[in-house]
Chains A and B, each alone.
Chain A
Amino acid sequence: MTDTPIRTPGLRLFPGRGRRRRSAGPSPIVPVNSIAGNALMTVVAIMSFLACITVGAVTLVQDAAQNWQADIRREVTVQIIPREGVDVAASVEQAIAIATATPGVGNVHALSEAENMALLEPWLGLGIDIAELPVPRLIVISINDPDVVDFDALAVALGAVDGASLDDHRRWTDRLRSMANVSVVVGFVVLALVFAATVLSVVFATRGAMAGNQQIVSVLHFIGAEDGFVAGEFQRHFLLLGLKGGLAGAALAAVLFAVVSIGMASLGDGPEGAQISALFGSFSVGPTGYFGALGVAFAIGVLTAITSRLTVFRYLGQVE
């Protein structure tokens, strides 16, 4: 370096004029690419993926349970038990009349002996004379609007018919509702655990990043940066990391949902497809699942930013 005189523009040390610099915005104060940052983004992506899968699974089970409940609630059965002294045919007629007269009820159909036989065939085999067995007669009542039908009143009215009893599947629907609620609660617990693991990962990563960027923090302090400014810089850095990781995990989960959905659809009407369809309907996560995954991604991004901000403030308090 030559000892050339330093140009001193008189007393105008800061005259407010100068050559324009490149127009791009200033670089982020916290370096964007670092090993710790990439590792954190990967962890966040994995957490987001797991959280999204949980959300998808919960919505799938909840939708399936609701479908089962809706199907079951749209049909009730009346049994006429052939006891001694009971005129089964007359009781069937009476029960049909009561059911038909009930508001909200659609089709009322008494199963014939052949239909009863077909139902029992898997257990009793062919060639059995059903007339010699005390097999109850079944009346299937289709419900147009489950909310209109007064099932209690219907049960009382049918109770007056000899040998008749109403099975409204309430026990099944209660169990299904319980199962669906449990699955939702379990899903939320898993989500909470995933969020907690994410927070802890971010705390460690932030502290690691702070230690790795100690010189930056130190320089910012000595040039008069307030803690809020330093925390804001790290928060912005981690918000971007969290959003990138969160969206990557959510995108991966969405792709998985779509692939599974397409795979299940490709099974078609075969026996496997019918089984899956019976259990899970279309096995499609639906808009709730996809929007839920997106929400989880943003929630993880924001959670990452807030966690890093609090961690930075605590770190700065210790440093000072």
Chain B
Amino acid sequence: MLLLRSAGSKQVFRFDNVGLRYGIGPEVLRDLNFRVEPRSFQYLTGPSGAGKTSLLRLLFLSIRPSRGLISIFGRDSSTLGQTDLPRIRRRIGVVFQDFRLLDHLTTYENVALALRVVGKPESRYRADVVELLNWVGLGERINAYPPVLSGGEKQRAAIARAVIGHPEILLADEPTGNVDPSMSRRLLRLFIELNRLGTSVVIATHDVDLMQRFPARTMALEDGRIEIHD
């Protein structure tokens, strides 16, 4: 039985005239207007410095826009209070470019962290975590610590942590940036499988080969502006 939640008919994200500047500097993102629909799959691409990471930071509520409206799961992000943020973030899975695994926790504990923070007892999630680690090919590495994992293994552990809480959207920042081509194809198949199971996916990448191999909606950032190619 599929246990992933459905985001329903509301857009996962809606950006209306969003602009972002840091301090008193120039706008790094300007006039962004786009939607991320439930169960959709898209790439976020653009040259270095185009603003991909800034846009991802806006998407996972790490920063607030300088202007415009960001709606997330039907709610205006500017109205979200301190207590709302954790609940919203639990519906978003994030895979960081640098993985951000905690070195003093095992692979199993890193992945289980997302369930531990919501107060679930280990007896209720142990089987799910082990099953997911098997699913991403880390079944034999559950008790290994991140420093001894390869780049690809860390990447899959980070992805497993991002999806274990059944997020409605997965944001991945250069998820194939540190792995060889065969591993990047393998990881992309994992994202496609997750999308097939109901999760919206946004992958920030500039791996052209990858995008050609698995064509999908593309949001191209150029000089702070976005262009959508459906």
Give me the interface of A with B, judged by CB distance under 8 Å.
Answer: 1-4, 6-9, 11-22, 25-27, 29, 31, 215-216, 218-227, 229, 317, 320
Contacts and interface: CB of A to CB of B under 8 A. Distances in A.
B116 interface: yes
Nearest to B158: A219
A-B complex: 6 closest residue pairs judged by Cβ atoms: A18-B130, A224-B90, A3-B182, A18-B127, A225-B117, A224-B89
A13 B135 contact: yes
Contact of A226 (B60, B86, B183, B190): B86
Nearest to A222: B94
Contacts of A3: 182-183, 185-186
A224 B117 contact: yes
**Interface size class, chain B:** 35 or more
A6 B136 contact: yes
Given A13-B3, A14-B131, 9 more contacts: A2-B182, A4-B137, A6-B136, A21-B130, A25-B122, A29-B113, A29-B116, A224-B117, A225-B86
Contacts of B106: 27
Interface in B88-136: 88-90, 94, 100, 102, 104-106, 108-109, 112-114, 116-119, 122, 126-132, 134-136
Given A16-B127, A20-B126, A224 B114 contact: yes
B3 A14 contact: yes
Contact of B132 (A11, A14, A31): A14
A216 B137 CA distance: 25
Given A6-B190, A27-B105, A215-B102, A223 B161 contact: yes
A227 B136 CA distance: 31
A8 B135 CA distance: 6
23 contacts: A1-B182, A6-B135, A8-B135, A13-B3, A13-B197, A14-B166, A17-B131, A21-B108, A21-B129, A21-B143, A26-B109, A26-B112, A27-B106, A29-B113, A215-B100, A219-B102, A222-B94, A222-B100, A223-B117, A224-B88, A224-B90, A225-B86, A229-B119
Given A7-B137, A22-B143, A220-B117, A13 B4 contact: yes
Nearest to B143: A22
B117 A229 contact: yes
B107 to A, nearest CB: 11
Contacts of A220: 113, 117
B142 interface: yes
B150 interface: yes
Contact of A21 (B119, B126, B152): B126
Contact of B102 (A15, A29, A224, A320): A29
A1 B105 contact: no
Contacts of B62: 222
Interface of B: 1-4, 60, 62, 82-83, 85-90, 94, 100, 102, 104-106, 108-109, 112-114, 116-119, 122, 126-132, 134-137, 139, 142-143, 150, 152-153, 161, 165-166, 179-180, 182-183, 185-186, 189-190, 193, 197
A12 B86 contact: no
Contacts of B89: 221-224
Nearest to A30: B104
Contacts of B127: 15-18
Nearest to A1: B152
A93 B128 CA distance: 100
Nearest to A12: B1
A9 B3 CA distance: 13
Contacts of A4: 137
A320 B109 CA distance: 25
Contacts of B135: 6-9, 13
Contacts of A15: 127-128, 131
Contacts of B2: 11-13
A199 B152 CA distance: 45
B183 A1 contact: yes
Nearest to B94: A222
A14 B132 CA distance: 7
B167 to A, nearest CB: 9
Given A6-B190, A18-B128, A27-B104, A224 B60 contact: no
Contacts of A19: 130, 134, 139
A267 to B, nearest CB: 53
Contacts of A31: 104
Contacts of A227: 82
Contacts of B4: 13
Nearest to B163: A13
A13 B4 CA distance: 9
A224 B168 CA distance: 13
A29 B109 CA distance: 9
B114 A11 contact: no
Contacts of B139: 19
